[in-house]
Amino acid sequence: MGLANWLTILRILLIPVFVTLLVYRRATAAFVVFCLASLTDLLDGYIARTHGQKTRLGAFLDPVADKLLLTSAFVTLTYLRVIPFWITAVVVSRDLILSVGVLVIHISGGTVHPAPTWLGKASTVFQMATVLAAMLFFYFRVPMVPRAFAWAAAVLTVASGLQYLIQGLKQINPPAGAPGRS
């Protein structure tokens, strides 16, 4: 297993540390841990692409690690009243809908080939930025407008969700003449 996958596993292992630090009101340490976890997301993809370390495990684990980190962050920060419920509902709902879609594809005999899109990547970046902006504003009183990040994240999250949904529907019902269509 290469360095890229180890970085993804590190991101997963940092999640309970981040949540625990938040719950116990250790905002500075939580902020640093979230930044470190976010950095592993950038590094694992870069290393996998540039060092030929792309693997099926990494293609599966990387988006799972992102979803776990971001869902944990949004839910915990909403519980602590740092982030409004509506953005958490948007982020978590999209991920639940996509998870059900993957399950439906598998049950119908199809296979899912995770292919991140630029919209999906942008929504992840803005979701991370929303978490960071909210923490900076709430805990450190840095003058910024976290609401702008939240709205941008919401729009990108919904758009990417629709894009992935359309991709999934094409896998269930491929066009006539496409491989897998009888």
Mean pLDDT by 10 residues, the chain (182 residues): 91 98 97 97 88 83 93 98 97 93 82 82 95 96 90 97 87 63 48
pLDDT of residue 144: 82
pLDDT of residue 181: 47
pLDDT of residue 111: 76
Q: Distance between CA 182 and CA 176 in Å, rounded?
A: 8
pLDDT of residue 107: 86
pLDDT of residue 68: 96
Domains and CATH numbers, the chain: 3-172 (1.20.120.1760)
pLDDT of residue 175: 61
The answer to whether the beta carbons of residues 14 and 32 sit under 8 Å apart is no
The contacts of residue 41 (CB under 8 Å, 6+ apart) are: 11, 62, 65, 66, 69, 124, 128
Residue 77 burial (10 A CB sphere; 0-12, 13-18, 19+): buried
Query: Which pairs from 42-46 meet CB under 8 Å and 24+ separation?
Result: 43/4, 43/7, 44/3, 44/4, 44/5, 44/7, 44/8, 44/11, 45/4
